[in-house]
């Protein structure tokens, strides 16, 4: 099985090209591939398949020729991955499957417009990030209140007073399963002024990662809400680098780097 490896602000992914939708990828095989000791190691997996081969998205994919089949490192599905969509776009361009510039990518969370910037960074139109209410988490015995934000996938973004560097995110932070029946990605952040936030994240299905694109959008929305804003441009610093989030009236944009770092043959099997 041919694979590539890439990352966006150190949120890393195994990429499996599967243009005709022929790969059988049981959950246990994905978890094995993403295992950092027994496998290649990654926060998630991106299967690259033509939308016309995927009946459940083909009808709503619009002009997107390619579908990003995203899986968390535990093998579970997610609706959307912000960093993954940039890495996916970088792969499509480098593989010559799309012309550089602007194009669409289909995801379970909807079709997303992608733009390769002259700087080399990639901007993704993430769609509207919707505040659904409030909820609470507990990390290391400390409770934090935050906003439940839908970025295609579920987030709980909490502004905290303690420095995020001091948090112990080795274990699953608690959350309310009544509010988040399918699990949740939990962001904890320090807002610095009105345009910068420092964030750490515990991702559903992957644990603590060094970056989360949808989480950065949720963080920007929650940070802006602290001063009653719903629009603006935010720099979101994560352990793996820095992302730009632009909150517009009816959509949000995520901009950042994406690189492919390796390619090879995978011998793992079920
Ligand atoms: N790292 C991603 C989000 C991946 C999906 C998430 N773990 C979920 O289960 O919703 C990003 O960059 O957005």
State mean pLDDT over 197-206: 98
ipTM: 0.99
Q: Is the CB of 212 within 6 Å of ligand 1? A: yes
- The reply, when asked if residue 153 is annotated as ligand binding, is yes
Predicted confidence (pLDDT) per residue in 119-146, tens digit: 999 999 999 999 999 999 999 999 999 9
Predicted confidence (pLDDT) per residue in 161-195, tens digit: 999 999 999 999 999 999 999 999 999 999 999 99
The Cα–Cα gap between 191 and 158 comes to 10
Residue nearest to atom 4 of ligand 1 (CA): 81
Q: Does 264 have pLDDT greater than 90? A: yes
Q: Does 14 have pLDDT greater than 90? A: yes
Backbone φ and ψ for 268, nearest 5 degrees, come out as -65, 140
- Longest Cα–Cα distance of the chain, Å, equals 52
Q: Is the CB of 51 within 6 Å of ligand 1? A: no
Pocket test for ligand 1, best of 8, 30, 80 (most atoms within 8 A of CB): 80
Q: Does 198 have pLDDT greater than 80? A: yes
State mean pLDDT over 255-263: 98
Residue among 101, 106, 108, 113 nearest 79 (CA): 108
Kind and range of the H or E element at 121? Answer: none
The Cα–Cα gap between 222 and 227 comes to 9
Q: Is the CB of 72 within 6 Å of ligand 1? A: yes
Q: Is the CB of 78 within 6 Å of ligand 1? A: yes
Pocket test for ligand 1, best of 84, 109, 152, 242 (most atoms within 8 A of CB): 84
Q: Does 229 have pLDDT greater than 80? A: yes
- The reply, when asked if residue 264 is annotated as ligand binding, is no
Read off the pLDDT band of 269 (50, 70, 90): confident
Q: Does 151 have pLDDT greater than 90? A: yes
Catalytic residue selected from 29, 212, 221, 238 = 212
- The reply, when asked if residue 72 is annotated as ligand binding, is yes
Residue 205 Cα, ligand 1 centroid: separation in angstroms?
A: 8
- The reply, when asked if residue 83 is annotated as ligand binding, is yes
- The secondary structure of the chain in percent helix, strand, coil, rounded to multiples of 5, reads 15, 45, 40
DSSP 105-157: EEETTEEEEEEE-TTS-EEEE----EEEEEEEEEETTEEEEEEEEESSSEEEE
Q: Is the CB of 203 within 6 Å of ligand 1? A: yes
pLDDT of residue 149: 98
Q: Is the CB of 111 within 6 Å of ligand 1? A: no
pLDDT of residue 268: 83
Instruction: Name beta bridge partners: 35.
Output: none
Read off the pLDDT band of 270 (50, 70, 90): confident
pLDDT of residue 192: 97
Residue 1 Cα, ligand 1 centroid: separation in angstroms?
A: 24
- DSSP strand pairing (196-203 vs 232-238): parallel
Beta-carbon contacts of 142 under 8 Å, excluding residues fewer than 6 positions away, are: 162
**Contact yes or no for 232/213 (Cβ under 8 A):** no
Structure tokens at 63: 């002009």
Read off the pLDDT band of 154 (50, 70, 90): very high
Catalytic residue selected from 15, 16, 49, 81 = 81
State mean pLDDT over 153-157: 98
Does the active-site annotation cover 81? yes
Predicted confidence (pLDDT) per residue in 31-61, tens digit: 999 999 999 999 999 999 999 999 999 999 9
Does the active-site annotation cover 34? no
Name all domains of the chain by residue range, CATH numbers in brackets: 2-124+256-265 (3.10.310.10), 130-250 (3.10.310.10)
């Amino acid at each position: 099985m041919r694979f590539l490896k890439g990352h966006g602000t150190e949120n890393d992914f195994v990429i499996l090209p599967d243009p005709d939708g022929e790969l059988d990828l049981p959950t246990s095989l994905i978890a094995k591939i993403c295992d950092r000791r027994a496998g290649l190691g990654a926060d998630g997996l991106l299967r690259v398949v033509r939308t016309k081969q995927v009946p459940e998205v083909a009808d709503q994919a619009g002009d997107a020729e390619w579908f990003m089949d995203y899986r968390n490192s535990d093998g579970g599905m997610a609706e959307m991955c912000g960093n993954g969509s940039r890495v996916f776009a970088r792969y499509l361009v480098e593989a010559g499957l799309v012309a550089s510039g602007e194009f669409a990518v289909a995801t379970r969370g909807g079709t997303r417009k992608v733009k390769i910037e002259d700087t080399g960074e990639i901007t993704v139109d993430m769609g509207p990030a919707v505040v659904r209410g409030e909820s609470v988490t507990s990390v290391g015995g400390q409770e934090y209140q935050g906003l439940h934000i839908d970025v295609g996938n579920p987030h709980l973004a909490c502004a905290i007073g303690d420095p995020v560097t001091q948090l112990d995110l080795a274990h699953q932070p608690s959350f309310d399963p009544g509010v988040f029946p399918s699990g949740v990605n939990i962001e904890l952040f320090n807002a610095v002024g009105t345009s910068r936030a420092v964030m750490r994240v515990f991702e559903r299905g992957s644990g603590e990662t060094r970056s989360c694109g949808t989480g950065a959008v949720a963080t920007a929305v929650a940070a802006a809400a602290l001063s009653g804003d719903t629009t603006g441009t935010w720099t979101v610093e994560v352990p793996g680098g820095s992302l730009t989030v632009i909150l517009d009236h009816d959509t949000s944009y995520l901009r950042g780097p994406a690189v492919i770092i390796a390619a090879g043959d995978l011998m793992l099997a079920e």
